[in-house]
Amino acid sequence: MRRVGVPRGVVVLAVLAGLLAGTSPALAQPTPPPNPSDDELRRSQEAVQQQAGEVGRLTGRLAELDAQAEELAIVLVGERENAEAAYVDLENAEAAAADAADAAADARVQTDAASRAIDEARLRLDEFVAATYVDGLDAGPLGLLTSAETPEDLVARAEFTDLLAREQLAAQDALERARVERANADSTARALLQAAEDREAEAARAKEAADAAYAVAEAAAREQAELLAAVDAERRQVEGRLAELEASDAGLRDQRARYDEWQRVLAEQEAARQRAEREAAAAREAAASAGSGGGSAPAIAAGSGAVRRVIDRAMSQIGVQYVWGGGNGRGPSTGIPGPAGDPGDRVGFDCSGLMLYAFNGVGVSLPRVSRNQYNAGRKVPISELQPGDMVFYRNGGRPIHHVAMYIGDGRMIEAPYTGADVRVVPLRRKGLLPQATRML
């Protein structure tokens, strides 16, 4: 047998791939962190915005109430000032009433004095009249002439008569003045007392009205303060709820950030692992091709070694882009040009093209499209899957539209769709046909 030389780097890669292949991805993958859904994040943000809007509304309401409270405080100060002025007026009125009462008392004293003066004037007049009557004095001119005995007596009698007349006039005048003074004193006392009583009553009414207005203003201010306190308490509650929602929202977004970071790290790890698997598979495939001489299409092989080579050939193409209609037994190729296909200038694999290349390495020739590949080999239940089996997918009752290769450990390799690359993913169950196709 001819010995074929294998590069040392290829052997190292093969050993590395063997070590990696012995690691189960199910055991290596850590438990993912919580990942809130987009709907949860949206609802959380909406709740935060709603509560923030409510805080804004209540803040505006508080500003209005503050302005109203300030206006009421100004009104209250005015009413308090009015009440204080009314109290001062009442004190002044009470003092004026007291002064009027004193003036009335003085007037009563004057009235009493006038009454006594009247009594005295009346007494003197009565005495004069009585004396005149008792003495029978004739104060007329004829009486004076007939009663006088001498000229001197006549003069004396005339002077006496004049004196009596003056006394009588004085008594009458005093009596009249006393009457007038008493009347004036009575009138003044009554007027002063009435004015004082009227002023006191008016001041009392003004104070009562001022007290009532102040009480109303004070009640309004108290009610406004209570309303302010209630709205402020409501705002504090809403702010507390907003803080809770913001914390919850921040927590959800932090969870999403941690999950995204976990996915990024996991994707990097998976990419590194797949690169290592691809390089190891490529090394094994290179060694196998070198061992077979790299000639024309090999004869159909069987056994675990053939299955390993089929998987290695597929794995060696990890990272090659998807191209509709691309790929054949020799490797990636341009796809089907046209409006519904590839523009014709890209090279890669579609799902069935990857299967063509993988199985061609062991001499198995497959038909081109996935639905035809389904009928190319022996059917086995999905429950009996083995590495190297082809698995197929369809949507409902529609025809088969996709094929992938099961590689073990719950994973499969596929060329998925335009915009993606050949990749290794967990075996999908959605749309999976209950039977696989086994070629080896």
Establish whether 351 is a catalytic residue: yes
Cβ-contact 344, 300 below 8 angstroms: no
408 DSSP β-pair partners: 411
Both tokens of residue 77? 């100060």
Establish whether 401 is a catalytic residue: no
435 by DSSP, 3-state: which? Answer: strand
Establish whether 94 is a catalytic residue: no
Cβ-contact 192, 184 below 8 angstroms: no
Exactly one of 70, 351, 384, 401 is catalytic; name it: 351
Residues 405, 393: Cα–Cα separation, whole Å: 12
Residues 389, 31: Cα–Cα separation, whole Å: 29
Cβ-contact 212, 14 below 8 angstroms: no
Exactly one of 79, 277, 285, 402 is catalytic; name it: 402
Both tokens of residue 385? 């899957």
Residues 39, 210: Cα–Cα separation, whole Å: 63
Q: Which amino acid is at 135?
A: D
Cβ-contact 389, 288 below 8 angstroms: no
C-alpha pair distances (Å), 64 with each of 217, 219, 240: 18, 19, 22
Both tokens of residue 261? 């970071």
The residues carrying an active-site annotation are 351, 402, 414
